[in-house]
């Protein structure tokens, strides 16, 4: 019994194991260990004033994400996949810019683990995509993926998943097409539509029914703005989308896309 207790104490005192980040940005892949990233020549101490996940100012050891995206061009499309199946679809251009909004990869030090996101939950580590001055580019909560496992360069969503596309006869600046862009930015990290997408987090938003088919418009807008104000449960994970990240026009466009796709079930 004493030996078992001693072993248990030893295990509890052990630091977190170093984690691995996988980058698939071209013909060949690369992996980074957390220890190597903490020693990266561009790593620095960073304060994030309004952290999306921790809801308070947080200090991180972080590397500018652009420093890790070797060969990636502004017109490329990236997918950031988390350990829990969250799959953020991100255009490369904002990730490569040096400011005013700038993307960083925060690295959890196994010797100094981050606090849990909530009681009984893990931390945001081992890797977390954070932003300095996100308000400068209307960065949405879905562009802050945590518990990151891999980053991949992929073809644009419309090529990979034709079932997401609106009617091709619509003009490029039609509200439905603008809403499709908002859907990709804010919704597809958690939800699929017509079975299309890589996320494994939330329900499909068109099959069997589209939310525009069973929500009154005012309540659907309220759900998107502040989910907890409409229905509450302890395990709720959907964030709210304030006007600072999803303007009223953007929300109108998003709802136009959803309503349009209700007539394009596949």
List, for residues 53-62, the tens digit of each pLDDT value: 999 999 999 9
- Provide the domain count of the chain: 2
How far apart are alpha carbons 99 and 83 in whole angstroms? 28
Average pLDDT over every residue of 30-42: 97
Of 48, 263, 77, nearest to 185 by C-alpha is: 77
The domain boundary residue, chosen from 104, 123, 154: 154
Output the domain CATH number for residue 249: 2.60.40.420
Q: Residue 110 contacts by C-beta under 8 Å, 6 or more apart in sequence?
A: 15, 16, 17, 18, 19, 34, 35
Inter-CA distances, 60 with 94, 114, 163, 256, Å: 20, 9, 39, 39
pLDDT tens-digit series, residues 73-105: 999 999 999 998 788 889 999 999 998 999 999
The DSSP secondary structure of 114-142, one letter per residue, reads PPPSSTT---S-SEEEEEESGGGGT--GG
Same domain? 23 vs 141: yes
Average pLDDT over every residue of 225-251: 82
Same domain? 145 vs 23: yes
Residue 263 scores a pLDDT above 90: yes
Is residue 63, in this structure, part of any structural domain at all? yes
Same domain? 27 vs 131: yes
Q: Could you tell me the residue range of the domain that residue 130 belongs to?
A: 16-154
The domain boundary residue, chosen from 131, 154, 177: 154
Same domain? 123 vs 164: no
Same domain? 142 vs 218: no
Percent of the chain scoring above 90 in pLDDT: 70
How far apart are alpha carbons 53 and 148 in whole angstroms? 13
Same domain? 78 vs 186: no
Is residue 266, in this structure, part of any structural domain at all? no
Please tell me the predicted confidence (pLDDT) of residue 87: 85
Is residue 219, in this structure, part of any structural domain at all? yes
**Which has more confidence, 114 or 99?**
114
Please tell me the predicted confidence (pLDDT) of residue 236: 65
Is residue 184, in this structure, part of any structural domain at all? yes
Output the domain CATH number for residue 28: 3.90.420.10
Same domain? 194 vs 244: yes
Task: Find how far residue 96's CA is from the centre of its chain.
Answer: 16
Average pLDDT, the chain: 89
| Confidence band for 121, pLDDT divided at 50, 70 and 90 | confident
pLDDT tens-digit series, residues 143-198: 999 999 999 999 988 899 999 999 999 999 999 999 999 999 889 888 999 999 88
Please tell me the predicted confidence (pLDDT) of residue 29: 87
Token pair, residue 128, equals 């977390």
Same domain? 118 vs 136: yes
Q: Cis link prior to 208 (omega < 30° from 0)?
A: yes
End-to-end, the C-alpha distance of the chain in Å comes to 61
Same domain? 102 vs 76: yes
Is residue 10, in this structure, part of any structural domain at all? no
Same domain? 164 vs 147: no
Residue 12 scores a pLDDT above 90: no
Look-up of token digits 């020693």: 39
The domain boundary residue, chosen from 94, 129, 154: 154
Same domain? 140 vs 179: no
């Amino acid at each position: 019994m004493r030996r078992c207790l001693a072993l248990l104490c030893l295990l509890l005192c052990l630091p977190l194991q170093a984690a691995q980040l996988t980058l698939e940005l071209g013909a060949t892949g690369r992996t980074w260990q957390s220890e190597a990233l903490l020693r990266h020549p561009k790593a620095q101490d960073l304060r994030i004033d309004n952290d999306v996940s921790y809801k308070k100012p947080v200090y991180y050891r972080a590397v500018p994400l652009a420093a890790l995206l070797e060969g990636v061009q502004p017109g490329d499309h990236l997918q950031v996949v988390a350990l829990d199946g969250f799959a953020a679809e991100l255009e490369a251009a904002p990730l490569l810019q040096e400011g005013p909004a700038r993307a960083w990869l925060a690295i959890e030090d196994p010797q100094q683990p981050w606090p849990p996101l909530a009681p009984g939950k893990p931390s945001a580590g081992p890797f977390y995509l954070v932003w300095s001055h996100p308000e400068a580019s209307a960065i949405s909560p879905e562009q802050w993926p945590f518990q990151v496992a891999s980053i991949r360069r992929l073809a644009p969503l419309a090529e990979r998943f034709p079932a997401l596309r609106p009617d091709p006869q619509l003009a490029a600046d039609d509200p439905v097409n603008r809403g499709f862009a908002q859907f990709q930015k804010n919704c597809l990290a958690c939800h699929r539509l017509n079975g299309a997408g890589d996320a494994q987090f939330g329900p499909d938003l068109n099959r069997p029914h589209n939310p525009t088919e069973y929500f009154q418009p005012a309540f659907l807008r309220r759900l998107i703005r502040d989910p907890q104000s409409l229905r509450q449960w302890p395990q709720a994970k959907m964030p709210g989308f304030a006007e600072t990240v999803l303007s009223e026009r953007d929300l109108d466009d998003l709802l136009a896309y959803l309503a349009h796709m209700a007539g394009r079930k596949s």
